[in-house]
Amino acid sequence: MPDATSTAAATAQNVLRDLAAIRATNPVVLSITNYVVTNTTANALLAIGASPIMSHAVEEMAELLAFSGALVVNLGTVAPEYLAAMAPAWAAADKAVVPVVLDPVGAGASRLRTVTPLALLDSHKAFIIRGNASEIMALAGASGATTVASTSASTSAPKGVDSTALSEEAADFASALARRHNCAVVVSGEVDIVCAGQTQARVLGGSALMPRVTGLGCTATAICGAFAAVNPDPFEAALHACVAMKVAGEMAADKASGPGTLQLYLYDALYVMDEKDVRQRIRVER
C-alpha cells in the first residue's frame, strides 16, 4: 500500500495529464441541466478548457452527441420540458458510447426527484453518479435518507447534520451503488468520497464557503463531464474532477471575502490552475 504522499503525487501527475488534455482538445460537454446553474456550469467548463453546450431540445440530441465528449444529465429542474429530453439523450449517448454523468439533484427530497434518476439508471449506462450524501443514500435505497431533505434542488449545503459524518455514513451506500451500476460514484461534501468497485478515495481541501454558493455541486458534476471526456476510467475521471474542484476552491478562498467573490475566483482558479497549484494543494487519501 503506497503512503499518502506518494499517492497524492501520483494522482497529481494524472490530474495534470487530464487537465492538459482538456485544455488541448477542448472537449464538448453537452449538458441537460437545471436553470439555476446553466450559466455557472457553462462558465466552469469554459474556465477549465472544455466546450459547453447547454440544451434540452430532444430533436438535436443525437446530432450534438456525435461530436460531444461527455453528456451531463442534471436533475435539478424536474419540470416536464426538461425531463422529456433526458431519456432520449441518454439513449443516444449510450449508442454513441459517450460517457454520461448523472447528478440526482434533490433525490430524497421529493418522490419525483427520487424515482426519476432511478428510472433513468434502470435503462441506461452511467459513467459517474455525483451527489451529496443524502442524494446518494436516497438513490441507494438507504432508509431515512429522505430526512435530510433540505440538501436539495439548488444547494449542496447540508442542514442540521454534521456533513462529514453523513458523508462517511453514505460511503458504503455509494460503493454499493457504484457496483450495482458498474460506474463511479462521488459523495460530495467537506470531504469528497469517490467509489468504484472495491476502491474508495477521499479528497480533502476546498473551502467552508463553498456550500454557501449555489450550484457548486452541479459544477463538480460538470467538471466530472470534462474529465470523463478525456479519461476512459470512471474512477479516475471522478477523482480528478474532485481534486480540480477542491484545489480551485482552496485557491479561490485565498482571495474571496465571501461566497459572492468565491464563485468568481473559482472560475479564475480553474482557468489558471497549474502544476504547482495542483502539487501543493492536492490532498487525497485512499
- Residues binding its own copies (CB under 8 A): 26, 28, 34-40, 42-43, 46-47, 51-57, 59-60, 63-64, 67, 76-81, 106, 109-113, 149-150, 152-155, 157, 159-160, 209, 211-215, 255-261, 263-272
User: Strand 184-188 to strand 128-132: parallel, antiparallel, or no bridges (unpaired)?
Assistant: parallel
State which residue, 59 or 122, has the beta carbon closest to its own copies: 59
The count of other CB atoms within 10 Å of the CB of residue 17 is 13
CB 21 within 8 A of CB 44: no
Q: Minimum distance between the CB of residue 212 and its own copies, rounded to whole angstroms?
A: 5
Residue number, 57 or 165, with CB nearest to its own copies: 57
Closer by beta carbon to its own copies, 30 or else 178: 30
Rg (CA), the chain: 17
Nearer to its own copies, 48 or 185 (CB): 48
* CA separation for the pair 92, 90 (Å, rounded): 5
Smaller CB distance to its own copies: residue 34 or 200?
Answer: 34
What is the pairing mode between strands 199-203 and 184-188?
A: unpaired
Q: b/e per residue, 234-263, with b = 16+ CB within 10 A?
A: bbbbbbbbbbbbbbbbbbbbeebeeeeebb
Nearest approach, Cβ of residue 184 and its own copies (Å): 26
DSSP 8-state secondary structure symbol assigned to residue 250: H
Instruction: Give residues with Cβ within 8 angstroms of 96, minimum separation 6.
Output: 62, 65, 66
Closest Cα partner for 224 from 243, 209, 206, 238?
238
Q: Which three cell numbers stand for residue 275?
A: 502544476
The minimum distance between CB 232 and its own copies, in angstroms, equals 21
Q: Which is nearer to its own copies, 97 or 160 (CB)?
A: 160
CB of 286 to its own copies, least distance (A): 32
Closest-CA residue to 120 (of 151, 82, 167): 82
Residue among 266 and 284 whose Cβ is closer to its own copies: 266
Distance CA 80, CA 85 (A): 9
End-to-end Cα separation, the chain, in angstroms:
9
Least distance from its own copies to the Cβ atom of residue 252, Å: 8
In sign, the C-alpha dihedral spanning 218, 261, 109, 169 is positive
Least distance (Å) from its own copies to the CB of residue 260? 3
H or E element in which residue 47 lies: helix 38-48
Q: Which is nearer to its own copies, 3 or 59 (CB)?
A: 59
- Residue 211 CB, nearest distance to its own copies (Å)? 8
CB of 4 to its own copies, least distance (A): 30
